[in-house]
């Protein structure tokens, strides 16, 4: 799909926080925490900062944070001098942050290069963090047969009351996990276990030659657990596997000569009914990386997908002169009854839409740039007779469309809006049985 360039719509990827000299912030881990200064939820992106062009030069750890995922701020959250790393170290590699369910504090697990993992603590999600172990590593070199770095922490849920730290590298012995004690700064002795990845359900030998990366991310979507690394992913019924290899979300992204994708470290979460995928993307060299944020879509069979358009423009903003604004690019829905669905024909993937069976529910699209006064909106939708779409612009009703008869197949319907020009927020309120594929402004 071609987008016509709008002079008012900025490109939102890679993430570049206000007041920073560059945007070289790789290895993102995304979290949703309450900002203690405002009492509102923010997305926090925990990253390194890489000054190198042909090698990693990473001196401290940073956090990017935003309420709307369009406007970002940045601060140093952990200083190298406050850890066990040598004073001249440039090996401040990937980190992860979680809020402890036991004491409510925030714990930052950080890599000393590819050697070991430490842990720091703070009362705030943005820090400052201070070393929690008297400047000694939580995962020293050699604690398992894999490299003790690039941590990912899995907190307790209804299926497992324990917390685990996952770490490792394909360069040695793939991924391992150890159980964290409730103090979050010690591992349980003897708890180390491998997190196996198999090529398919019938082959119980570890996958080789595909893992070519380090950091792993473990997350749950519905009843499936996902293990992700450098675009590749595998699924399991259990958080620690065994995992079955499923595919490569980065298969269509350019690769380095050694076969690794330009995308590497990635992180996933759900916020306000939308799923997000943050990932490092390489530029002209494997060490020169930035962070992108995109919407994540999940097919019925578990396949992970993202939009190339959003990889370019970023989330949370739209241009009124785009050919189409896909309905699944919402920033918030008000209830699970309004959900994202996969569209298929004869088993072939056609895209995604949003749909509901009944009731009245809303999807929000903020920061619509370049709107002209009193535009027309075309919606591609299907639904039952009497179903309606009410369009709010900046919270005020600007137009309404009602289906006069059953419409079992997607078709285009147009209505006139009463709106002011400029940057606006559009909210679509769906009532009745409806599915919406996309909308267009003219």
Residue 309 lies in a domain: yes
Supply the range of the domain harboring residue 64. 29-313
**Shared-domain flag, residues 259 and 202:** yes
Q: Which residue, 247, 278, 313, sits at the end of a domain? A: 313
Quote the pLDDT of residue 258.
Answer: 52
User: Quick one: 185 exposed, middle or buried, by C-beta within 10 A (0-12, 13-18, 19+)?
Assistant: buried
Distance CA 283, CA 396 (A): 43
Residue 355 lies in a domain: yes
Residue 347 lies in a domain: yes
**Shared-domain flag, residues 133 and 194:** yes
**Shared-domain flag, residues 411 and 378:** yes
**Shared-domain flag, residues 209 and 349:** no
CATH of the domain at 168: 2.115.10.20
User: Quick one: 177 exposed, middle or buried, by C-beta within 10 A (0-12, 13-18, 19+)?
Assistant: buried
Residue 9 lies in a domain: no
25 and 33 in contact (C-beta within 8 Å)?
no
Q: Which of 43, 11, 10 is nearest to 332 (CA)?
A: 43
Q: Which residue, 286, 313, 340, sits at the end of a domain? A: 313
Domain count, the chain: 2
Q: What is the pLDDT of residues 212-241, one digit of tens each?
A: 567 889 999 999 999 998 888 999 999 999
Q: How far is CA 223 from the centre of its chain?
A: 18
Distance CA 93, CA 339 (A): 37
Residue 22 lies in a domain: no
**Shared-domain flag, residues 116 and 188:** yes
Sheet holding 130-131, edge to edge: 92-99, 106-112, 116-122, 130-131
Q: What is the pLDDT of residues 288-337, one digit of tens each?
A: 688 999 999 999 999 999 998 898 899 999 999 999 999 999 999 999 99
**Shared-domain flag, residues 63 and 204:** yes
* Number of neighbouring beta carbons within 10 Å of residue 155: 14
CATH of the domain at 400: 2.60.120.260
**Shared-domain flag, residues 282 and 338:** no
Quote the pLDDT of residue 206.
Answer: 85
User: Quick one: 403 exposed, middle or buried, by C-beta within 10 A (0-12, 13-18, 19+)?
Assistant: buried
Which residues in the chain show pLDDT less than 70?
A: 1-8, 208-213, 253-262, 283-288
Residue 123 lies in a domain: yes
**Shared-domain flag, residues 58 and 176:** yes
Distance CA 413, CA 207 (A): 50
Contacts of 10 (CB under 8 A, 6+ apart): 317
**Shared-domain flag, residues 132 and 279:** yes
Q: What is the pLDDT of residues 382-393, one digit of tens each?
A: 999 999 999 999
Distance CA 66, CA 270 (A): 15
Look at residue 407 and give its three-state secondary structure. Answer: strand
Quote the pLDDT of residue 301.
Answer: 95
Q: Name the CA dihedral angle for 164, 226, 56, 148, rounded to a multiple of 10 degrees.
A: 30
**Shared-domain flag, residues 287 and 410:** no
Q: Is the pTM of this model over 0.85?
A: yes
First to last CA, the chain: 17
Residue 201 lies in a domain: yes
**Shared-domain flag, residues 45 and 128:** yes
Q: Which residue, 298, 313, 328, sits at the end of a domain? A: 313
**Shared-domain flag, residues 77 and 100:** yes
Quote the pLDDT of residue 209.
Answer: 65
Residue 6 lies in a domain: no
């Amino acid at each position: 799909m071609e987008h016509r360039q709008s002079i008012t719509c900025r490109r939102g990827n890679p993430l570049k926080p206000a007041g920073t000299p560059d945007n070289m912030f790789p290895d993102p881990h995304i979290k949703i925490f309450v900002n203690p200064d405002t009492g509102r939820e923010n997305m926090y992106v925990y990253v390194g900062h890489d000054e190198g062009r042909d090698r990693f030069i990473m001196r401290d750890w940073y956090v990017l944070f935003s309420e709307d995922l369009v406007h970002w701020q940045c601060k140093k959250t952990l200083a190298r001098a406050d850890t066990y790393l040598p004073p001249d170290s440039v090996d401040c590699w990937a980190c992860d942050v979680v809020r402890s369910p036991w004491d409510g504090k925030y714990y930052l697990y950080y890599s000393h290069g590819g050697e070991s993992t430490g842990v720091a603590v703070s009362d705030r999600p943005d820090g400052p963090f201070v070393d929690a172990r008297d400047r000694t590593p939580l995962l020293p070199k050699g604690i398992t047969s894999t490299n003790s770095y690039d941590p990912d922490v899995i907190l307790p849920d209804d299926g497992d009351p324990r917390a685990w730290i996952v770490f490792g590298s394909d360069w040695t012995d793939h991924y391992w996990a150890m159980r964290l004690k409730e103090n979050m700064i010690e591992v349980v002795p003897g708890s180390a276990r491998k997190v196996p990845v198999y090529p398919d359900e019938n082959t119980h030998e570890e996958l080789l030659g595909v893992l070519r990366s380090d950091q792993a991310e473990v997350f749950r979507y519905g009843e499936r657990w996902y293990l992700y690394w450098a675009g590749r992913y595998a699924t399991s019924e259990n958080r620690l596997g065994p995992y079955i290899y499923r595919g490569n979300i980065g298969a269509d992204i350019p690769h380095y000569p050694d076969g690794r994708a330009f995308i590497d470290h990635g992180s996933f979460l759900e916020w306000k009914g939308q799923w997000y995928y943050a990932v490092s993307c390489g530029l002209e060299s494997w060490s020169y990386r930035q962070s992108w944020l995109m919407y994540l879509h999940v097919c019925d069979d578990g396949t992970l997908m993202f939009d190339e358009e959003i990889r370019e423009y970023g989330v949370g903003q739209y241009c009124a002169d785009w050919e189409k604004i896909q309905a699944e690019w919402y920033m918030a829905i008000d209830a699970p009854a309004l959900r994202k669905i996969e569209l298929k024909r004869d088993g072939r993937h056609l895209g995604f839409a949003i749909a509901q069976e009944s009731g009245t529910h809303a999807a929000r699209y903020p920061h619509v740039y370049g709107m002209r006064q009193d535009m027309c909106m075309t919606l591609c939708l299907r639904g039952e007779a009497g179903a309606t779409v009410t369009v709010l612009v900046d919270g005020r009703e600007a137009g309404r469309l009602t289906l006069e008869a059953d419409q079992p197949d997607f078709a285009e319907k147009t209505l006139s809006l009463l709106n002011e020009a400029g940057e606006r927020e559009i909210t679509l309120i769906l009532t009745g049985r409806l599915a919406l594929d996309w909308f267009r402004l003219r």
